[in-house]
Amino acid sequence: MSSFLLQFIITEKPYTEYPLGYKQILIVDDDTSQHFLLETQLGRNGCGVLHAYNGAEASRVIENNDIDLVIHDVERPNLDGFQTLERLSIHGMLDTFPIIFLSGCDETILKTKGLNGGAVDYLTKPFDNDELMARIKTALRRFKKIIPEPPRGTSTLKGNIHSMQTS
């Protein structure tokens, strides 16, 4: 049974009620507890989650799946986050999906290296779930992976057409 289907059954929320729609997110971290925490949070928001425990595994997952966003720990064995960014850049994939670094390292030099290397964001552990989801939503919107919501109080095209027809 797929992760999405299982989450759908547990929450009994209609698919359309998820704020991000259904998105496929890859988590790259060697800490299984981080995978569990992130999968739980992302699942509550209607996201499917794929797992990789190092950069080499991440490369294989990316090659074989349609990924909407990657959450990558910086310090990984067997290809760290910066090396993964470099590989994706060489293969022209940094424009395909956003990458958010999630790391226990709070050093400015690492943050700037990641952001200058192509990551769209850098959060430090421990992280706030609401902040993480807001940053994911912003990254997906920037990459046109979700349609922005119209500002409150503005009418939709359908409403405009209806009001034109009735006047």
State pLDDT tens for residues 71-126.
999 876 666 788 888 888 888 888 889 999 999 888 999 999 999 999 999 999 88
pLDDT above 90 for 27: yes
Peptide bond into 126 cis (omega under 30): yes
Give the H/E segment covering residue 25. Answer: strand 23-28
Class for the domain spanning 3-166: alpha beta
Domain ranges of the chain: 3-166
Q: Give the rounded percent of residues in the chain with a pLDDT score beyond 70.
A: 71
- Measured torsion, CA atoms of residues 83, 88, 92, 94, in degrees rounded to the nearest 10: -100
Closest residue by Cα to residue 99 from 28, 3, 23, 12: 28
pLDDT of residue 11: 43
Question: Distance between CA 36 and CA 67 in Å, rounded?
Answer: 19
Question: Distance between CA 160 and CA 68 in Å, rounded?
Answer: 32
Question: Distance between CA 94 and CA 38 in Å, rounded?
Answer: 22
pTM recorded for the entire structure: 0.75
